[in-house]
């Protein structure tokens, strides 16, 4: 208590005694004290109204923010930040193109959406606001908490360009019926290339020139022809070098393609015969039906297919799972995509837009979002938490596979070369072109396109 406050709180006698004690003379008179002047009561000061700001967001129907968990997350953000509102528009078509066009037109878009692998292209186009400075001061999400396998896509010149959400990972699903019919143990999925070849040989059956049961199609699953890269990664190959150059024309890529052609397709009658087996069921999601029926032994699918296809359509379907079988001396690898939010340079108040991004990066939202959509957390610290996996071994396994995740080429200009990464695969598998020639051509074409993209945008 200050001396002034103490004085104000004392009665008159005590106050006089205190004044005397302080050496001040006091005189008692018979005069009544002067009447106190009446003070006009002060009007109560109203708290200042919070600054209002509308965060304009482009999203897609899959990640609708107007209902369900999307609406919950938005409402939490608005309640925690008075004055902030989210105006989310569901866009159709190419979401990256919509964002780029919007920024070019000065629409005032705060947050857009694209794939993680498109981050570096967007950075060269000068569309997103880098997030490193925000993450450095955030108490909610740090750059280092995001899976390293995701940061490889998201970073351009060592700066994270967007906030990832909804990643997935692919691995081997084993159909129990097909395995049991072939005398195999579905609870022991093939762990090596040799194991997989052995399982294929036992499951595969043919009548005349028509396949009745298929052991495995390495290119049939969520990822299609891009799945050829998984064996290449397992052998130690990469799609790009640390210097940002394309590296498809390598011994690892050649060995991976040769194994898939010779040991899988040719062992089951050849690529064209396998295509004939699929017929009208060759595309997603039709190819689940042969798997459900037990005439396909193994599928290469995302973790989210359990909730997206298996449980809704064939809830009694029994399956096992495991990592994609590895070659001798190889390493685990998984093909996995990821969706990403971006603050655009057109945002009038990027600091306000960051509140949206930060909320999506929070531990709690990570857990709820991943569980709701059967996706994976973007944060490594969530993957092993009981709160996330809730004792579900499938969920725990899927999340831990994120450390082995890789995806398509993420370099600047990547959207222009996507078809070149897998376009040559059918001809290779059908024997229409040699593997060395196909890899050489693809590598040169892709590198040329990427170099031209950088030169066009002043980044060469």
Q: Two tokens at 375? A: 């996706």
By mean pLDDT, which of 26-30, 102-106, 231-235, 444-448 is the weakest?
26-30
Helices (H) and strands (E) in the chain, counts: 23, 14
d(CA 256, CA 235): 8
Say if residues 86 and 65 touch (Cβ distance below 8 Å): yes
Say if residues 254 and 439 touch (Cβ distance below 8 Å): yes
Q: What is the pLDDT of residues 201-220, one digit of tens each?
A: 999 999 999 999 999 999 99
**Is the model's pLDDT at 39 over the cut of 60?**
no
Q: What is the pLDDT of residue 36?
A: 46
Q: Label residue 49 by pLDDT band (50, 70, 90).
A: confident
**Is the model's pLDDT at 22 over the cut of 50?**
no
Sign of the CA dihedral with 151 first, then 152, 156, and 162 last: negative
**Is the model's pLDDT at 329 over the cut of 60?**
yes
**Is the model's pLDDT at 418 over the cut of 60?**
yes
Whole-structure pTM value: 0.88
**Is the model's pLDDT at 12 over the cut of 60?**
no
d(CA 377, CA 367): 6
Q: What is the pLDDT of residue 16?
A: 29
**Whole-number mean pLDDT of the chain?**
91
Short-list 341, 301, 347, CA closest to 321: 301
Residues 6+ apart with CB under 8 A from 432: none
Q: What is the pLDDT of residue 104?
A: 97
Q: What is the pLDDT of residues 369-390, one digit of tens each?
A: 999 999 999 999 998 899 999 9
Q: What is the pLDDT of residue 458?
A: 86
Distances (CA, A) of 351 to 65, 79, 164, 358, 362: 21, 17, 18, 10, 17
By mean pLDDT, which of 12-26, 131-145, 212-226, 343-357 is the weakest?
12-26
Q: What is the pLDDT of residue 283?
A: 95
Helix, strand or coil for residue 156? strand
Q: Label residue 23 by pLDDT band (50, 70, 90).
A: very low
**Is the model's pLDDT at 15 over the cut of 90?**
no
Sketch out the chain's domains with CATH numbers: 53-168+337-406 (3.40.190.10), 170-335+417-456 (3.40.190.10)
Higher pLDDT, 130 or 47: 130
Q: What is the pLDDT of residue 154?
A: 98
Average pLDDT over residues 411-417: 97
**Is the model's pLDDT at 19 over the cut of 60?**
no
d(CA 408, CA 92): 23
Q: What is the pLDDT of residue 44?
A: 67
d(CA 452, CA 68): 44
By mean pLDDT, which of 42-51, 287-296, 352-361, 399-408 is the weakest?
42-51
By mean pLDDT, which of 24-38, 111-125, 425-439 is the weakest?
24-38
**Is the model's pLDDT at 45 over the cut of 90?**
no
User: Nearest 10 degrees: CA dihedral of 109, 112, 118, 123?
Assistant: 40
Average pLDDT over residues 339-346: 99
d(CA 306, CA 310): 5
Say if residues 215 and 309 touch (Cβ distance below 8 Å): no
* 151 alpha-carbon distance from chain centroid: 10
d(CA 359, CA 361): 5
Q: What is the pLDDT of residue 28?
A: 31
User: Nearest 10 degrees: CA dihedral of 440, 442, 446, 447?
Assistant: 0
Q: Label residue 42 by pLDDT band (50, 70, 90).
A: low
Average pLDDT over residues 175-180: 99
d(CA 309, CA 285): 8
Most confident of 39-48, 188-197, 415-424: 188-197
Q: Label residue 38 by pLDDT band (50, 70, 90).
A: low
Sign of the CA dihedral with 65 first, then 69, 75, and 81 last: negative
Biggest distance spanned by C-alpha atoms of the chain:
129
Q: What is the pLDDT of residue 378?
A: 97
**Is the model's pLDDT at 116 over the cut of 80?**
yes
Average pLDDT over residues 99-114: 97
């Amino acid at each position: 208590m200050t001396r002034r406050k103490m004085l104000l709180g004392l009665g008159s006698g005590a106050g006089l005694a205190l004044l005397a004690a302080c050496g001040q003379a006091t005189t008692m008179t018979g005069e009544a004290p002067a009447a106190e002047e009446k003070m006009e009561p002060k009007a109560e000061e109203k708290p200042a109204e919070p600054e209002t700001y509308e965060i304009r967001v482009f999203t897609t129907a899959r990640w609708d923010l107007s209902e369900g968990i999307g609406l919950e997350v938005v409402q939490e953000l608005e309640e925690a930040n008075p004055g902030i509102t989210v105006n989310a528009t569901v866009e159709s078509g190419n979401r990256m193109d919509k964002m780029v066009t919007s920024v070019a037109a000065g629409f005032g878009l705060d947050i857009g959406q694209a794939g993680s692998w498109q981050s570096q292209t967007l950075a060269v186009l000068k569309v997103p606001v880098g997030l490193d400075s925000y993450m450095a001061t955030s108490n909610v999400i740090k750059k280092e908490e995001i899976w390293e396998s995701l940061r490889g896509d998201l970073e351009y010149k060592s700066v994270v360009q967007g906030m990832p959400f909804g990643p997935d990972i692919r691995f081997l699903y084993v159909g129990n019926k097909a395995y049991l019919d072939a005398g195999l143990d579905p609870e022991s999925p093939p762990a090596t290339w040799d194991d997989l070849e052995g399982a294929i040989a036992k499951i595969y059956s043919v009548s005349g020139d028509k396949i009745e049961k298929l052991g495995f199609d390495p290119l049939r699953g969520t990822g299609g022809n891009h799945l050829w890269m998984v064996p290449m990664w397992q052998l130690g190959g990469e799609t790009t070098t640390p210097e940002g150059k394309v590296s498809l024309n390598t011994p690892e890529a050649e060995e991976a393609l040769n194994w898939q052609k010779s040991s899988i397709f040719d062992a089951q009658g050849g690529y064209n015969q396998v295509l004939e087996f699929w017929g009208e069921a060759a595309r997603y999601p039709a190819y689940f039906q042969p798997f459900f029926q037990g005439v396909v032994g193994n599928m290469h699918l995302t973790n989210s297919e359990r909730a997206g296809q298996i449980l809704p359509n064939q809830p009694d379907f029994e399956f096992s799972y495991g990592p994609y079988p590895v070659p001798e001396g190889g390493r685990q690898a998984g093909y996995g995509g990821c969706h990403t939010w971006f603050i655009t340079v057109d945002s009038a108040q990027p600091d306000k837009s960051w509140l949206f991004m930060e909320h999506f990066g929070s531990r709690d939202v990570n857990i709820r979002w991943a569980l709701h959509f059967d996706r994976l957390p973007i944060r490594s610290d969530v993957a092993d938490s009981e709160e996330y996996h809730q004792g579900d071994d499938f969920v725990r396994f899927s999340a831990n596979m994120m450390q082995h995740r890789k995806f398509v080429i993420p370099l600047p200009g990547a959207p222009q070369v996507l078809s070149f990464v897998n376009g040559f695969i059918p001809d290779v598998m059908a024997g229409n072109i040699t593997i060395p020639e196909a890899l050489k051509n693809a590598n040169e074409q892709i590198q040329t396109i990427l170099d031209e993209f950088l030169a066009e945008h002043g980044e060469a």
